[in-house]
Amino acid sequence: MLKTEILKKLRSTEGYVSGQEICDKFGVSRTAVWKAVNSLRDDGFVIDSVTNKGYQLQSGVEILTKSEIESRISSKYLGRNLCCYKEIDSTNEELKRLFNANNSLPNGTTAVTDHQTMGKGRRGRVWETPEGVNIAMSFLIKPEFEPGKASMLTLLAAIAVVKATEEVAGLECQIKWPNDVVINGKKYCGILTEMSSEPDFIHYVIVGIGINANTESFPEDIAKTATSVYLEKGEKISRAKLVAAILKYFEQYYERFEEALDMSPFMEEYNCLLAGYGQEVRVLDPNGEYTGISKGINNQGELLVEKEDRTLTEVYAGEVSVRGIYGYV
Ligand code: BT5
């Protein structure tokens, strides 16, 4: 797409790029360039234009648009069919609607929005995505493995978020099994994986990721347990860069998962990132709470917890939450 290409060119050039150079490079008319630049401006980019010099992108703009994300994507198929929205109820719900309208929706189709009006957590909980600061993104994949393995994709997504955050923001994160990524003990990212399947066949899996990127403050009910890159680092980051990095890393990990079909290639890495590993945790099981020592995940992605009587329980993510003994992590 011309807009995306122009954006890449402007970003990679210090100083001005002449209109003629853009025309020659992409084989398009001056009018097409002018229209594409204006459309980028409509998206919110600040682009200077000076007669006889050309165009220059002003740095420091932080925008979550299709062209901004596309110009940074390096994954092979994940995010290549990209749908971006200024505002939507929920990116998970949007992908479901897109799939229901078109069963041949490409594998890896991704939805990203700046603002979710009805963001979902697990089991009917609410996920906050206020305007202009956070990331809400979901991708749809069509795995060929059995439905019982899909819950492990949440764990892969958590590793991808950790890697991407380290790369883009230089921040160290931990994973709170199964679906949170935390920084300094506070929730920075939540993951919601949903699936449509028959007993032995997956129609699709949607992995939804919510990230507190540039959030300056949180509603009172979550202020004590939530954090953002901005609050941890004191700097705002490019959300588009983070989206592209998450897609890149998830695709890489997922390729390896498709070969192994379990967590064995990632267990060591995962357990190193696991909050509370080797420590006492409280398992909030609807059939009765208990405490024990977290022994990390097994190759099915279940959390192993050793109870006081030395028995080892395999905790399945479904109905259970795990807490640190003194608080959220
Ligand atoms: C989650 O649920 O953590 C999954 C969140 C998934 C959100 C993504 S955004 C893209 C996609 N589209 C959707 O509609 N959802 C996905 P859970 O483990 O149930 O945690 C929910 C709890 O986290 C809430 O009850 C709050 O206590 C807390 N919470 C809500 N918003 C938060 C935020 N922005 N930051 C930190 N904590 C939050």
Do the strands 180-183 and 47-50 form a parallel or antiparallel pair, or are they unpaired? unpaired
Nearest residue by C-alpha to atom 9 in ligand 1: 210
CA 176 – CA 329 distance, rounded (Å): 7
| C-alpha 121 – ligand 1 centre gap (Å) | 4
CA 214 – CA 136 distance, rounded (Å): 13
Task: Render each residue's pLDDT in the chain as its tens digit; 329 residues.
Answer: 898 899 889 888 888 999 899 999 989 998 999 998 988 888 778 888 888 899 988 865 677 989 899 999 999 999 999 999 999 999 999 999 999 999 999 999 999 999 999 999 998 999 999 999 999 999 999 999 999 999 999 999 999 999 999 999 999 999 999 999 999 999 999 999 999 999 999 999 999 999 999 999 999 999 999 999 999 999 999 999 999 999 999 999 999 999 999 999 999 999 999 999 999 999 988 888 999 999 999 999 999 999 999 999 999 876 678 888 767 77
Q: Which two tokens stand for residue 313?
A: 């329980």
pTM above 0.75, yes or no: yes
**What is the number of the ligand 1 atom nearest to the C-alpha of 221?**
27
CB-defined site of ligand 1, < 6 Å: 90-92, 116, 119-122, 125-128, 136-138, 179-180, 187, 190-192, 208-210, 212, 222, 226
| C-alpha 129 – ligand 1 centre gap (Å) | 9
Burial per residue of 57-80, b for 16 or more beta-carbon CB atoms within 10 angstroms, e otherwise: beeeebbbbbbbbbbbbebeebbe
Report H helices in 71-219. Answer: 91-101, 152-169
